[in-house]
Amino acid sequence: AIGQGDRHLLAMAELACERGVWDRCINTSERTREVWSLAQRYPMPHGDVLKARAQEAGLDPATVFGLVRQESRFQADAQSYVGATGLMQLMPYTAIRLSKLFDDSEFKLDQLQVADTNITYGSLYLSLLLHYYGGHEIPAVAAYNAGPNIVNKWLRECQDCPNDAFVEFIPYAETRNY
């Protein structure tokens, strides 16, 4: 039988999901022990836009869904303590560089709060990182989170490491847990 605590948590998570408070939907659902809801733990808000932008950037939508879930828990207005913004937690400097690279003279930083713009720019950035790292997802995703300069340093320090050893070598817990 499902414990009373799990029933309560699932109900609270469902309420958060219904209200579009995705971080609380996921976080509350993850606290259940005996039973869980995949729909609550892995929701797909902004699904059509996310799939379309990922495919336009040549990415697997599942990778982008996973990145958005990890970065912002699907909160379009998310702000990190270092200044990353939106669903895909883009740094303002990165977004400005991308707007210049893709000749988007209409781009303004406040557009990073708009799901479509944030997903577009975040997907393009991840695509560039994948290209830079020769299609290898582990350093590309690590660089998305920690920055390419630091990931390049880690790669130099862990040359010829198999993927699992490289992941364990990453000193940033947030990046390592991706």
pTM given for the model: 0.90
Phi, psi (degrees; rounded to nearest 5) at 85: -130, 145
pLDDT of residue 94: 96
Q: What percent of the chain clears pLDDT 90, i.e. is strictly above it? A: 89
pLDDT of residue 3: 58
Q: Which residue among 18, 56, 71, 106 is the active-site one?
A: 71
The pLDDT tens digits for 92-127 are 999 999 999 999 999 999 999 999 999 999 999 999
Cβ atoms of residues 135 and 145 within 8 Å:
no
Residue 72 to residue 28: CA distance in whole angstroms? 15
pLDDT of residue 1: 44
The pLDDT tens digits for 42-65 are 999 999 999 999 999 999 999 999
Task: Read off the tokens for 135.
Answer: 């299609």
Q: Is 34 a catalytic residue?
A: no
Environment class of 151 (CB within 10 Å of its CB; exposed 0-12, middle 13-18, buried 19+): buried
pLDDT of residue 178: 81
Give the bridge partners for 85, in sequence order. Answer: 79, 90
